Amino acid sequence: MTATSLSKWMVETTNLRKSYGKVVALEGLSVQIPRAAVGLLGANGAGKSTLIKLLLGLQAPVSGDATVLGFNVRTDPLQMREHVGYMPESDSLPLDVTAADFVGHMAEISGLPARAARLRAAETLYQCGVDEERYRLMREFSTGMKQRVKLAQAIVHDPDLVFLDEPTNGMDPAGRDDMLRLISRIHNDLGITVILSSHLLEDVELVCDYVVMLENGRLAMTGPLTSLVQGEGDVVVQIDGDVDRFVQALQVRGLDARRRERDVLLAYHDESVFDVVRDLSIDLDILLRGLRRDTRTLEDVYLQRMSEQTVDEAANVNAD
Amino acid sequence: MSTPIDQNLAGGPLRQPEAEIYDRGYRHYDGPREGRRHAIQALIIYSIKRGLGIKKRWTAKIIPILIYAFAFFPVLIIIGIRAFVGEAAGGLNYLTLYRAISVIMIVFAAATAPEMLCDDRRQQVLPLYFSRAISRADYLLAKIGGLGILMGTVALLPAFILFLGSTFLAKSPVTYFFDHIADLVRIVAAGTLLAFLFASIGLLIAGFTERKSIAAAVYIGAVLLVAGFAGALFNAINAGWHRYFVLADLNSVSDGITSWIFGIPLDQDGIAGKANLNGAWYLLTVAIVVVACAAVMYRQYLREE
């Protein structure tokens, strides 16, 4: 049995610290990431790429420890890397080589015999949307094509986990949608676990089901996407009738209700609020047109987190 | 996995399939994985191909073709002269050949070492290698091996041709072959040492820059400059230990190694002849240079992401 099958967490870090001179990139990061399509979120400079490089063993941490698929990245980096793929943010492709040759070469570097490597390269490139173009030199490729080749080389050796660092960087909207669809397929259809680093919230929202948010090298928040975007949302009530009267009636019943244009917003405590709304609409003879949780976007969560951080920093400055 | 068309479904005679249907969907790979040794071999082969310009534009092939042409030119001259003047051409030996080839090897290393290393750094391909199951030492080992093999072809093949030419031009080829069979071992020893000497210095310089032209110019410049300084100091100082300055001149080291291995005395006109150092000093110099270059390169590549 391999460490891969033994480990409970896909990635686990303990007090991971990395600095470049006086600049601290990661500050005591401890996080446990389950097997899922994981979005690594954060502004530029938050420490996303640094974390990926530490997890791959491309850089050494100043202190702390990390395991990937159960392999310690300090003590078992080579065993760990047999099971992972990596698509870096930078171009990272030799321009005077064909895509087929390069992806085949990368498969061989991952231990595949020469013939199997060539076949896998052709198959994987095809799956990534590079078909006949694979015989062209990569200097002739568009940004989107290069991103596809980078993705192909990351999965050509059939890894269990693939790190994708800003995979939609520099792509036009159509190409970006294609790439995100491809990444979703890699995870959902091919069964390869994905850690997607991005500063684009929509990318993560479209592809991932678990989020790790970094902020200035620290863990800002982590959890399943559904709990982050829905967990704290209000209840939205849509009625045909006097909205102000309905709000007052809810407030009389002890609920935190307020008006938002033609809707009524109601603080969610538990499922009983739905019963109260239903009963009140019957009592007041008001037609209930809609009753649902107000889903927040990841952007709402992110902006809320940012504003909380600003408040915290201001409080710290005042305290000093 | 391909699925052959079942020719026999309709109960017809079983025939060899004329075509196969390929399922091009992505499948998990459950074939063999051959580990680091295979990866290093693959990287050596890939590096050699890049060094020779194989599967690259035709312009990338010009320099390797010219260098190989020049590498074989001296041996053809030597054999040609021997064919015409016979024993009178006794002075044209392996020392003469390696003296000519070592210059070509320096040019070859200057042109090929950057081809093997600079692009990987400039085009940021290194993270793709280092995120796979090979170490940085494996990567460097493959690069040194790849360039060493290429340089070896320049160092060994002309010498083997000289051996064969000398054999066939001898009055009794069979007797010559068995009398000089030890020369084959000497050729391998001298060629291998010189190949790795020039390759390791070339790779060391290429490991510090992303620009191929700069790496090539620095290599040639450093060789000429250090040799010039070594020669000047050798002639200016007369203190006994001044003889060791000769070890800084790559051509003299090449002469010293070849002279020592083949047992051919050096002429007293050159500084290697005047220095009159024991051959072990040259061997030690090669060993130190190769190990030091590998160590510095490893340290340099530890910083690469």
Q: Which residues of A touch B28 (CB under 8 A)?
A: 158, 190-191
B303 at interface of A, judged by CB pairs closer than 8 A: no
B42 at interface of A, judged by CB pairs closer than 8 A: yes
A97: left (phi over 0), alpha (psi -120 to 50) or beta: beta
| pLDDT tens, position by position, A123-149 | 999 989 898 899 999 999 999 999 999
Question: Which pLDDT does position B15 carry in this prediction?
Answer: 57
For residues B210 and B121, the answer to whether their CB atoms sit within 8 Å is yes
Copy the structure tokens of residue B121.
Answer: 């750094």
Contact residues, A window 69-88, toward B, CB-based 8 Å cutoff:
78-79, 81-82, 84-86, 88
Our CA-based measurement puts residue B14 at a distance from the nearest CA of chain A, in whole angstroms, of 29
Higher-confidence position of A303 and B93: B93
Sign of CA dihedral B73, B77, B83, B87: negative
| pLDDT tens, position by position, B268-281 | 778 888 888 888 99
Describe the strand order of the beta sheet including A210-215 as a list of residue ranges. A84-87, A161-165, A193-198, A38-41, A210-215, A218-224
At B144, the pLDDT band (50, 70, 90 cuts) reads: very high
A109 at interface of B, judged by CB pairs closer than 8 A: yes
Please state the rounded mean pLDDT for residues B128-138.
94
B67 Cβ partners below 8 Å, 6+ apart? B104, B107, B108, B111, B154
Report the C-alpha gap between A106 and B25 in whole angstroms: 20
Copy the structure tokens of residue A179.
Answer: 């790439």
Q: Do B39 and A110 touch (CB under 8 A)?
A: yes
Report the C-alpha gap between B162 and B97 in whole angstroms: 9
Question: Which pLDDT does position B1 carry in this prediction?
Answer: 40
Report the C-alpha gap between A206 and A184 in whole angstroms: 8
Q: Do B128 and A88 touch (CB under 8 A)?
A: yes
Cβ–Cβ contacts within 10 Å for residue B173, how many?
13
Q: Do B133 and A158 touch (CB under 8 A)?
A: no
B61 at interface of A, judged by CB pairs closer than 8 A: no
Helix, coil or strand: residue A196? strand
Question: Which pLDDT does position B60 carry in this prediction?
Answer: 85
Question: Which pLDDT does position A70 carry in this prediction?
Answer: 93
At B18, the pLDDT band (50, 70, 90 cuts) reads: low
Question: Which pLDDT does position B189 carry in this prediction?
Answer: 95
Q: Which residues of B touch A158 (CB under 8 A)?
A: 28-29
Residue B82 has pLDDT above 90, yes or no: no
Q: Is residue B82 in some structural domain?
A: yes
Which is it for strands A263-266 and A257-260: parallel, antiparallel or unpaired? antiparallel
Q: Determine the residue of chain B that is closest to A185 in CA distance.
A: B26
A3-229 CATH fold: Rossmann fold (3.40.50)
Q: Is residue B30 in some structural domain?
A: no
At B20, the pLDDT band (50, 70, 90 cuts) reads: low
Instruction: Return the residue in A97, A109, A147 with the most chain B beta carbons within 10 A, the one to mutate for interface testing.
Output: A109
Q: Is residue B89 in some structural domain?
A: yes
**Could you give the angle at which helices B59-85 and B136-169 cross, rounded to 10 degrees?**
30
Strands (E), chain A: 11-20, 23-33, 38-41, 63-68, 71-72, 84-87, 161-165, 193-198, 210-215, 218-224, 235-240, 257-260, 263-266, 287-293
Average pLDDT for chain B: 87
Q: Which residues of B touch A82 (CB under 8 A)?
A: 33, 133
| pLDDT tens, position by position, A87-135 | 999 889 999 999 999 999 999 999 999 999 999 999 999 989 898 899 9
Q: Determine the residue of chain A that is closest to B28 in CA distance.
A: A158
Report the C-alpha gap between B79 and B20 in whole angstroms: 56
Q: Is residue B3 in some structural domain?
A: no
Q: What is the architecture, at CATH level 2, of domain A234-293?
A: 2-Layer Sandwich (3.30)
Question: Which pLDDT does position B191 carry in this prediction?
Answer: 94
Q: Which residues of B touch A92 (CB under 8 A)?
A: 123-125, 127-128
Our CA-based measurement puts residue A116 at a distance from the nearest CA of chain B, in whole angstroms, of 8
A210 Cβ partners below 8 Å, 6+ apart? A33, A34, A36, A37, A38, A39, A222, A223, A224, A225
> What is the 3-state secondary structure of A43-108?
CCCCCHHHHHHHHHCCCCCCEEEEEECCEECCCCHHHHHCCEEEECCCCCCCCCCEHHHHHHHHHH
Whether ipTM > 0.85 holds is no
Token match 């992303």: residue? B210
Question: Which pLDDT does position B6 carry in this prediction?
Answer: 42
Report the C-alpha gap between B192 and B147 in whole angstroms: 11
Please state the rounded mean pLDDT for residues B80-94.
76
| pLDDT tens, position by position, B246-272 | 899 998 999 999 999 999 888 877 888
A93 at interface of B, judged by CB pairs closer than 8 A: yes
Contact residues, A window 158-177, toward B, CB-based 8 Å cutoff:
158, 163
Nearest to B128 among A78, A92, A116 (CB): A92
Q: Determine the residue of chain A that is closest to B32 in CA distance.
A: A112
Residue B56 has pLDDT above 90, yes or no: no
Copy the structure tokens of residue A290.
Answer: 């809609």
A201 Cβ partners below 8 Å, 6+ apart? A41, A297, A298, A299, A302
Q: Is residue B292 in some structural domain?
A: yes
Nearest to A108 among B42, B124, B135 (CB): B42
Burial of residue B208 (CB within 10 Å: 0-12, 13-18, 19+) is middle
At B90, the pLDDT band (50, 70, 90 cuts) reads: low
Domain count, chain B: 1
**Segments making up each domain of chain A, as ranges:** 3-229, 234-293
Instruction: Return the residue in B1, B23, B29, B45 with the most chain A beta carbons within 10 A, the one to mutate for interface testing.
Output: B29
Question: Which pLDDT does position B10 carry in this prediction?
Answer: 46
Q: Do A81 and B39 touch (CB under 8 A)?
A: no
Low-confidence ranges of chain A (pLDDT < 50): 1
Our CA-based measurement puts residue A35 at a distance from the nearest CA of chain B, in whole angstroms, of 18
Q: Which residues of A touch B134 (CB under 8 A)?
A: 78, 109
Our CA-based measurement puts residue B129 at a distance from the nearest CA of chain A, in whole angstroms, of 8
Our CA-based measurement puts residue A148 at a distance from the nearest CA of chain B, in whole angstroms, of 15
Question: Which pLDDT does position B11 carry in this prediction?
Answer: 47
Q: B215: domain range?
A: 35-45+58-302
Nearest to A95 among B60, B123, B133 (CB): B123
Q: Which residues of B touch A105 (CB under 8 A)?
A: 42, 46
